[in-house]
Each structure stands twice: as structure tokens, then as C-alpha cells.
């Protein structure tokens, strides 16, 4: 069977599905039925989703849950989370409830600077290029006025532009390195538009610069693009309380728990193999809220993990300490988020999620997202240093196993009762189901 096709994008949605079903499935009609059962009956809503990406054939559902009782800077939030992994929402909600009686979470935005670069090749004297840039810097800014006008009205715009010499790393390679403030928008389109104008201005002004030789005038722009690494777009989230206040049913000896917790964080700070999994737990919380609010979780992931490696070694994003009888757990992470533009004005559930969060500004959303990541991390470390991670996780995973085997209502009741006192594992659940069905 030949699976290559020409002109797939030009086919109708029905024809795309028909081709997929006939090329890859033994029972094409069954495949078509599976694909179409995820369509939305509201044709207008379905068309909206179809147009988010290209070559759409259906919708891929992820559950949207709520983690309530987040007390952040004195205000309560119910946090929408979109994720497929069991126990994540439950863990976030449990952490939120736990810290709501211990002063809640404190969060603040340290900076919100974003970055974009024009990458170019210049062959000639570096001193001439530096002189050229200094003399024409104002022109770069004035040439973007039509692009920046509306952003400036909102208090944003271009913060600075500088010339960077990277020739010690790559021959003849230079950058225009620009910083931006984009207020409540993530700002990708705004930044990229400014950068493309910078590139155009760079080439035009170089052609007219009298001190350049013909070769020096021929500046070659390689690309103009924003960076998802935003080390100066930082938010801090923190919890703290007296050690004795850590006590609860799982934490019978608060001092011992606090010391073990700090040790666990210290291990993640120096051991990359642990740090990756440790930070993945943080991103369980971060990504789930980023997705729910229509932001780009891939950009956030890339930037956060680069930040975790900023000192030359991959390390924990969170930190913990005991000082003068006070336990403190905190994190600083880069988050470039928006509450206007993109999906925020298109996706009905994104709009709803933002409304549940009380229509936050970008700075407020940064704080909520960071806090959710810290809460997730606390929940994971509390489990790891007390009962172990699998007890809670596997109980939450039990539903997935039961759904896989299409367990009846009576079977579910019997199985739930059995695992109140027994350890959940995939093998033990399967064995119990088989015994119940004999």
C-alpha cells in the first residue's frame, strides 16, 4: 500500500478522513466512526476548532479539572488545569488546601522583560559596525513606530536594542539583541514584527552608510525571531511557616519531615538525574494551567528548562531551607504569558478559564501559574519523603485500569473495597478482575 499522497491539504475534511481510514485501517468505516465521534455537534464551534491548525480531521480531548482553595497573596483562586495525568489535579488541590491554613502562597513578578534577536552576518571591521550601529540606533526605533504605537499606549514597547558581537563563537556572526515589554499579551507577533522591521532597517541603512566598503554594506540577515528563553521575565512563588505548623496526619514529626524535605530538594539541586524528574513535577502544575489559559506550554517548557541549566548544570528550580525554626519553600521561574490575543479571545473554554481566575493580568497569571507549579512540587516531595509516590498515584490510576477492562459498577465497588487495605498495581488489579469474573 502506497502511503504517500500529493495535495492532501487541498482535500476536503471528509476526503482527508476517508483517505486516512482506507490507508491505515483494516476496517475503514470503524476508523471513520471513531474520528467523527469526537466532532462537536455545534458546527460553528467545530469550525472554530478546525481552523486552529491545518489538515484537521477531529478533536483530541483532554480533561479540564479545577484545583480549588489556592490562597495567593491573600486572595482565593480556583485554578483550571488541563492535563491527562492522574493525581496531578488532586495533588495540587491537596497542597492548596494544606497551605491555605498556613498563610497561603506568596508570589511576585520580579521582571517581565522579553527578548528578540536579529541574527546577521557582517564581513568587515567590527569598529565600523559598532560606529554604524551607534549612529543609526535611533533610526531602528523610529522605523518601528507604526508597529509599537498601540503597545506603547498600554505601557509596553521596545525597551532597548543593542549590537552583540558573537564572532568568537561563529565567524562573522553578530546580533541585534532587543528587549521588550508586552504587558498583558505574550507578544510573539508584536516582537517578531519589530524584529523584521529592524532587519529591513539594518540592510537599508548599511547600504547608505558612507564609511562601509561595498563588502561591508552587504550585510546578510540570517533570521529575525523572538527568544523563548526569558531569564529576565521572572516570577517568584513561596510558602513558609513555623516547623511545628507543618504537622498533619502524614507528618507526625514536623522537624524530621522538614529536614528530609530540604535534603530531597538539595539532592535535586546537585543531581541532574533527579532534577529532571523533580522539575517535571513542577511542570505538571505549570503546563496544566498554561494549557487551560490558552498559552504556549512548549515555549514555557523550553524557557524553563534552559533556565534550570543557566549555571552550566541542570538543577532544581525549587529550593527549601530551615532557618530560625521557619520552613521556607520557594521557586523562581521564567514565564512569558499572555491574557489577551491568541486563543484567549477565541477558545470558549480558555475564556471561561480566565474568568474563573477572575480575569487576571499577565502578571497575575504568572503568579498563579508559578504557585500551581510550586504546589505540585510540594505535593510530590511530601509523598516521596513520607508514604512514597506510588500509594496516591496508583489509587488515582486505578480508574484508568478499570476503564481499560470495562469494569461493571459492582466490580468497581468490590475492587475499591479490596484496595482500601492493599497496594494497587496493574497486575494485582487485573488478577482481581479475573477472579471476580470467574
What is the distance between the alpha carbons of residues 256 and 270, in angstroms, rounded to a whole number?
A: 21
**End-to-end alpha-carbon separation of the chain, Å?**
43
Chain length of the chain:
438
Which residues does residue 80 pair with via DSSP β-bridges, in sequence order? 66
Output the CA torsion sign for 198, 201, 206, 207.
positive
Which bin fits 294, alpha (ψ -120 to 50), beta or left (φ > 0)? left
Q: Can you spell out the DSSP letters for 150-198?
A: HHHHTT-EEEEEEEEE-TTTSTTEEEEEEEEE-TTB--HHHHHHHHHHH
Respond yes or no: is residue 280 known to be catalytic. yes
Rounded Cα–Cα distance for residues 161 and 144 (Å): 12
344 touches 294 (CB < 8 A): yes
Name the catalytic one among 94, 347, 393, 397: 393
Buried b (16+ CB within 10 A) or exposed e, 198-220: bbebbeebbeebeebeeebbebe
For residue 104 the three cell numbers come to 497561603
| Distance between CA atoms of residues 121 and 11, nearest Å | 42
Q: Which one is catalytic: 49, 85, 260, 301? A: 85
- The one catalytic residue in 106, 200, 203, 280 is 280
Q: Which of 296, 347, 364, 397 is catalytic?
A: 296
CA atoms within 13 A of residue 39's CA, in its CB half-sphere: 18
Q: Could you give the 3-state DSSP secondary structure of residue 280?
A: helix
C-alpha dihedral, 382 to 387 to 390 to 393, nearest 10°:
-60
Classified as helix, coil or strand, 237 is strand
CA angle 192, 228, 70 (to 5 degrees): 120
Alpha carbons 400 and 146: distance in angstroms, whole number: 54
296 included as an active-site residue: yes
* Residues belonging to the active site: 85, 280, 296, 393
Amino acid at each position: 500500500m502506497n502511503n504517500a499522497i500529493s495535495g492532501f491539504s487541498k482535500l476536503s475534511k471528509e476526503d482527508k478522513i476517508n483517505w486516512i481510514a482506507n490507508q491505515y485501517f483494516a476496517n475503514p468505516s470503524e476508523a471513520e466512526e471513531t474520528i467523527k465521534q469526537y466532532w462537536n455537534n455545534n458546527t460553528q464551534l467545530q469550525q472554530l476548532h478546525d481552523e486552529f491548525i491545518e489538515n484537521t480531521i477531529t478533536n483530541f480531548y483532554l480533561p479540564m479539572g479545577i484545583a480549588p482553595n489556592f490562597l495567593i497573596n491573600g486572595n482565593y483562586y480556583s485554578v483550571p488545569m488541563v492535563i491527562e495525568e492522574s493525581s496531578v489535579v488532586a495533588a495540587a488541590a491537596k497542597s492548596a488546601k494544606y497551605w491555605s491554613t498556613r498563610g497561603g502562597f506568596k508570589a511576585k513578578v520580579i521582571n517581565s522583560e522579553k527578548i528578540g534577536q536579529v541574527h546577521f552576518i557582517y564581513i568587515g571591521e567590527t569598529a565600523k559596525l559598532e560606529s554604524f550601529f551607534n549612529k543609526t540606533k535611533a533610526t531602528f526605533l523610529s522605523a518601528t513606530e507604526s508597529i509599537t504605537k498601540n503597545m506603547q499606549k498600554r505601557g509596553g514597547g521596545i525597551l532597548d536594542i543593542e549590537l552583540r558581537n558573537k564572532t568568537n563563537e561563529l565567524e562573522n556572526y553578530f546580533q541585534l539583541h532587543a528587549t521588550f515589554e508586552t504587558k498583558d499579551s505574550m507578544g510573539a507577533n508584536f516582537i517578531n514584527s519589530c524584529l523584521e522591521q529592524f532587519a529591513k532597517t539594518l540592510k537599508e541603512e548599511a547600504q547608505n552608510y558612507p564609511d562601509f566598503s561595498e563588502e561591508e554594506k552587504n550585510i546578510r540577515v540570517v533570521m529575525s525571531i523572538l527568544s523563548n528563553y526569558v531569564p529576565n521575565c521572572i516570577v517568584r512563588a513561596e510558602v513558609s511557616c513555623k516547623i511545628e505548623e507543618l504537622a498533619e496526619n502524614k507528618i507526625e514529626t514536623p522537624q524530621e519531615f522538614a529536614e528530609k524535605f530540604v535534603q530531597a530538594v538539595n539532592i535535586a539541586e546537585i543531581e541532574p538525574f533527579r532534577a529532571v524528574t523533580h522539575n517535571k513535577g513542577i511542570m505538571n502544575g505549570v503546563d496544566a494551567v498554561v494549557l487551560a489559559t490558552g498559552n504556549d506550554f512548549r515555549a514555557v517548557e523550553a524557557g524553563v528548562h534552559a533556565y534550570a541549566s543557566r549555571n552550566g548544570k541542570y538543577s532544581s528550580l525549587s529550593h527549601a531551607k530551615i532557618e530560625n525554626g521557619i520552613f521556607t519553600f520557594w521557586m523562581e521561574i521564567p514565564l512569558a504569558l499572555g491574557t489577551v490575543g491568541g486563543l484567549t479571545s477565541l477558545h470558549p473554554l480558555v475564556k471561561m478559564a480566565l474568568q474563573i481566575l477572575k480575569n487576571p493580568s499577565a502578571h497575575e497569571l504568572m503568579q498563579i501559574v508559578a504557585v500551581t507549579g510550586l504546589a505540585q512540587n510540594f505535593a510530590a516531595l511530601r509523598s516521596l519523603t513520607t508514604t512514597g509516590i506510588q500509594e496516591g498515584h496508583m489509587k488515582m490510576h486505578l480508574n484508568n485500569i478499570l476503564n481499560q477492562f470495562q469494569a461493571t459498577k459492582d466490580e468497581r465497588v468490590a475492587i475499591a473495597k479490596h484496595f482500601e487495605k492493599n497496594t494497587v498495581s496493574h497486575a494485582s488489579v487485573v488478577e482481581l478482575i479475573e477472579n471476580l469474573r470467574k
